[in-house]
Amino acid sequence: MRGFFLSIPIGIEKAAAVDGAGPLRTLWYVILPISIPPMGAAAVFAFIEAWNEFFFALILTRQSAQTVPLAIAQFAGQYQTVFGQMMAAAVISVAPVIVIAAIFRDQIIRGFADGMMKG
């Protein structure tokens, strides 16, 4: 996000000021609409990171409240590991991430492209 906001030309903000927009109106009507793709990409990556969180959930949750990675890890026991059920659960747990990434694919690509440009 930082790379994208640094690449926004200052002339855009100055043009909005010349047209009579204040700082809040410039942010709301000029800056935010052009920053939707990078924010979408950041949101998708934040969702993926939160969905796959293992260590915080392992340390901070109880047995009654678990995240998906912790539930999948319970298929591995001390004497036996049920690989078939573990892989089925892993495929099912990856499905929401794949669907969200497919829905927001264009914004992810645009967010990458906009964030890599230097101003």
pLDDT in tens, 23-74: 899 989 988 888 888 888 888 888 888 877 777 777 777 666 777 888 888 8
Examine the pLDDT at 119 and tell me if it is beyond 60. no
| Cα of 1 vs its chain's centroid, Å | 12
Count CA within 13 A, CB hemisphere, residue 7. Answer: 15
pLDDT digits (tens, 9 = 90+) for 82-98: 889 989 998 998 888 88
Average pLDDT over residues 16-26: 90
Distance CA 43, CA 45 (A): 5
The predicted pLDDT at position 12 comes to 87
pLDDT digits (tens, 9 = 90+) for 2-12: 877 888 888 88
How is residue 54 written in tokens?
Answer: 């293992």
Question: What pLDDT was estimated at residue 21?
Answer: 87
* 108: pLDDT strictly greater than 50: yes
For the chain, what is the largest distance between any 2 Cα atoms, rounded to a whole number of angstroms?
72
The answer to whether the CB of 44 falls within 8 A of the CB of 115 is: no
Give the chain as a DSSP string. Answer: -HHHHHHS-HHHHHHHHHTT--HHHHIIIIIHHHTHHHHHHHHHHHHHHHHT--HHHHHH--SSS--HHHHHHTTB-SS-B-HHHHHHHHHHHHHHHHHHHHHTHHHHHHHHHHHH---
Residue 117 reports pLDDT greater than 70: no
